[in-house]
Structure 1
Amino acid sequence: MIDLHASDLRGFVPARDFALSKAFYRALGCALEWSDEGLALFRLGTSRFYLQPYYVKDWAENSMLHISVQDAARCHADIADLLESGRFAPARVAPPKHEPYGALVTYVWDPSGVLLHLAQWDSSSGSRSGQ
């Protein structure tokens, strides 16, 4: 087996409207670490991801980020309040749902259709959370 000596893994997230998506992720609490006209680097906790002003509908609507959170219900309420203004349309949020793999998940679709899984892990399934 090859040992890459990897120290970080960052995904690329598409954005139909780069400015709107940057504002959306900042409103969700992601810290914008760096940006130019062709790429933005966000940090959320100890993880990072790139946002890029490139959009293909099928790609965006099949992209997902799984984010472990402390309180999926609180996330739902806060994000529903945020989206109520219509500022981030067509972003949307669904109420938390218990999933068979042991998490309570609030699903959020960003303005480009990327699906975020905000997963609250119960104490018996903590090993699956990656924490």
Structure 2
Amino acid sequence: MHATAGRDRAVPNLPSRDFDVTEAFYGGFGFECEFRDDGWMILSRGELRLEFFPYPGLDPATSSFMCSIRVADVDELYAAVKRAGVPERSVGMPRLHPVRLQEWGLRVGYLIDPDGTQLALIDQPVAT
């Protein structure tokens, strides 16, 4: 086993038109600010980390930013997002797409944040 196993990780770097809006949005379903200055923000929820950079000129309607969030309980995360007031709908931002079993075998829901970033919420059962 590699000496740094358990500490190695990759963290998505996502755009934010306004750090205040981004922090409030993700804070609504349990993300807390770990670091913030004018050029960078890190939000965390348990072991999940999302890092944001300022992109004030981003057009959310044409954004192609995306990332995958793999969690042991996608239903819990999805419910928290929904309780925060993010609607299930097929257009507009922010929005949710319900968790469904995908043809490739995992259950996935989708969150589109206020900046147009698509987060795939993937149920990643813990191996036993």
Once the 2 structures are TM-superposed, how far is the Cα of residue 98 of structure 1 from its aligned partner? 1.1
Q: 1:53 to 1:19 in 2, by over 3 A?
A: same
How far apart in 2 are the matches of 1:58 and 1:82? 21
Q: Number of paired residues?
A: 117
Structure with bigger helix share is 1
Equivalent pairs: percent with the same residue? 26
Amino acid in structure 2 at the alignment position of 1:81: R
> What is residue 3 of structure 2 aligned with on the other side?
none
Q: How large is the RMSD of aligned CA atoms in angstroms?
A: 3.0
How far apart in 2 are the matches of 1:43 and 1:60? 26
Secondary structure class of the residue paired with 1:42: strand
Amino acid in structure 2 at the alignment position of 1:109: I
Q: 1:9 to 1:114 in 2, by over 3 A?
A: same
How far apart in 2 are the matches of 1:122 and 1:10? 20
The two structures have a TM-score, normalised by structure 2, of 0.71
Once the 2 structures are TM-superposed, how far is the Cα of residue 18 of structure 1 from its aligned partner? 2.0
Gaps of 5+ in 2: 1-6
> What is residue 103 of structure 1 aligned with on the other side?
106
**Higher deviation after alignment, 36-45 or 52-61:** 52-61
| Aligned counterparts, 1:56-95, within 5 A | 56-57=58-59, 61-83=63-85, 90-95=93-98
Which stretches of structure 1, 4 residues or longer, exceed 6 Å deviation after superposition? Answer: none
- Please say if residues 102 and 108 of structure 2, whose CA atoms lie closer than 8 Å, have aligned partners that are also in contact: yes
The two structures have a TM-score, normalised by structure 1, of 0.70
How far apart in 2 are the matches of 1:101 and 1:45? 27
